[in-house]
Amino acid sequence: MKRLLIFFALFLLLVGCNIQEDNTNSNTGNTNGNDTSNSENSSNTNDEGSEEEQLEGEISLMMFEGGFGSDWVKRSAAEFEEMHPEVTVNITASPDIHTQLQTRFISGDVPDIMNPGAKVDIQGLVNQGEILALDDYLEEPSFDDESVSWRDSFIPAQFKLQKDGQTYGIPTIFGAGYLWWYNAKVFDDNGWELPQTWDDVEELKEKAAEKDMALFALQGKYPGYYFYGYYLPLVQKIGGTDALLNAFNLEEGAWEAEPFLKAAEITANLREKDFLLDGTLSLSHTDSQTQFFLGNSVFVSAGTWLEGEMQDVIPEDFKLRAMNQPGWEGQSEEENNAAPITSGWGGAFYIPSKAKNPDLAAEFLKYLTAKESIYKMMERGLASTVKGTEDAIQSEALASSLEVIKNADSKTYLPTSINDSYPELANNLLNKLQGVLTGDVTPEEFVQYAEEKATEVREDSSIEKVEFNW
């Protein structure tokens, strides 16, 4: 019995020594060899250091290179790599990123993060299970403030990339588009007033002609600019937002209703009555926008990316400002003040469901949406979806575009959302509208064609239907 008691005493002594040694090793691992007894602050600092060491690996990011630019993303990636030496962020940016992404998705070799641009059917990829739902990540602490979830770091009204109750995209840029842009200096120098109705637009055209200026420079090679920048906003002004909602919701007869026909007739007049800069129908977006900044047209239609996209060619004395499309005589003040905004699907960041390193991708996106990174983006004259960044807006041009939204008093609509949900339909219609501008298609033929194409989508059971409600 005495031997047994001695054995148990020795056993307990050995166990106690092992427990003490394990605790010592555990503390050493948490503090990277530093003594935690000095202060509570040193413990917090070392915990952060431990977390940084846990971030390692390589991620790839493929993004659309357009007016929003990619320089701020690359700068943020370099900083993220400095913070985490074991991490590599490879970035591919291209205006044709949609073709590269298509190849990657077909092969299964998808990037860890993508920013697809408007030409990728992102909602189609979501429906096919190709895009990862980010809700679990969004409940984690934000980069800037551990007491605030990543989701709550965004302005709710600008963070709506949800489908079936789940969030799939991280929007960084808030866009008003498409708006009409003009040089306030030209209006001041000539004593011109901004047009309030389309009758005023016609009068301004005559005044501009006296100064050898065309009224509009269109991005003729890319008909989406005038489909979303002139035609659909004009439909809204004539028929109200309900006219667009009825059409987008594929209601029978909506696409050939009077507002669509009348807007198509005015579109045809843009060429027939010399509203357009000579040759503009053959110009790229940057070429036509350059003509605008050279003073050869009064207006150009684009989103809030215009200033950033053209920053290298804007003259120093150019007072770039934005205005809403003129109202329609007899329409309500609420509808005439309604402002078009971009839906954000094409410009957001996504993690494909087959990404090789989704956790690290999410950590980088947290940093990309931290204020430190967002301020770099805003240097391009862009507005952010992140809370607390409004005071950093320094661009008067950007401020004027946000003023349009403010004047709308929450009455906004999303012309580009038809492309997000029914990209083939939208592509067919904007290409057909180009024929109206060139005179090859009559307004009546256009609305008849639009109704036929909408009917095909409505009756195609293989296409998932979307209920629009702004």
Q: If you count them, how many residues does the chain have?
A: 470
Place of tokens 């109200």: 240
Q: Which amino acid is at 159?
A: F
pLDDT in tens, 356-391: 999 999 999 999 999 999 998 888 778 888 998 888
Q: Are 366 and 136 in contact (CB under 8 A)?
A: no
Cα angle, residue 385 at apex, residues 148 and 87 outer, rounded to 5°: 70
- pLDDT of the residue at 118: 81
**Residue of 90, 102, 92, 106 lying closest to 64 (CA atoms):** 92
Q: What is the mean pLDDT of residues 69-85?
A: 95
Beta bridge partners of 166: 163
Domains of the chain: 57-174+344-389 (3.40.190.10), 179-342+398-459 (3.40.190.10)
Place of tokens 């299970």: 129
Q: Which amino acid is at 296?
A: N
Cα–Cα distance measured from residue 229 to residue 284, given in angstroms and rounded to the nearest whole number: 15
**How large is the C-alpha radius of gyration of the chain?**
28
Q: Is the pLDDT of residue 199 over 60?
A: yes
Return the SS3 of 327: strand
Q: Is the pLDDT of residue 302 over 80?
A: yes
- pLDDT of the residue at 437: 93
- Which phi and psi angles does 63 have, rounded to 5°? -140, 155
Instruction: Identify the DSSP state of 172.
Output: -
- pLDDT of the residue at 7: 37
Q: Are 207 and 219 in contact (CB under 8 A)?
A: no
- pLDDT of the residue at 383: 83
- pLDDT of the residue at 84: 97
Higher pLDDT, 173 or 224: 224
Neighbouring C-alpha atoms within 13 Å toward the C-beta of 402: 16
Q: What is the mean pLDDT of residues 57-68?
A: 92
What DSSP line would sit under 264-321, residue for residue? HHHHHHHHHTT-BPTTGGG--HHHHHHHHHTTSEEEEEE-TTHHHHTTTT--TT--EE
Residue 178, preceding peptide bond in cis (omega within 30° of 0): yes
Q: Which amino acid is at 30?
A: N
- Name, in order, each residue with C-beta under 8 angstroms of 453's C-beta and a sequence gap of 6 or more: 255, 425, 428, 429
Strands (E), 171-284: 173-174, 179-183, 214-216
Cα–Cα distance measured from residue 387 to residue 157, given in angstroms and rounded to the nearest whole number: 11
Distance of CA 27 to the CA centre of its chain: 46
Beta bridge partners of 183: 320
Cα–Cα distance measured from residue 146 to residue 114, given in angstroms and rounded to the nearest whole number: 26
Q: Is the pLDDT of residue 28 over 90?
A: no
Backbone conformation region of residue 57, classed left if phi is above 0, alpha if psi is from -120 to 50, else beta: left
- pLDDT of the residue at 41: 37
Percent of the chain with pLDDT strictly greater than 70: 89
Backbone conformation region of residue 348, classed left if phi is above 0, alpha if psi is from -120 to 50, else beta: beta
Q: Is the pLDDT of residue 159 over 90?
A: no
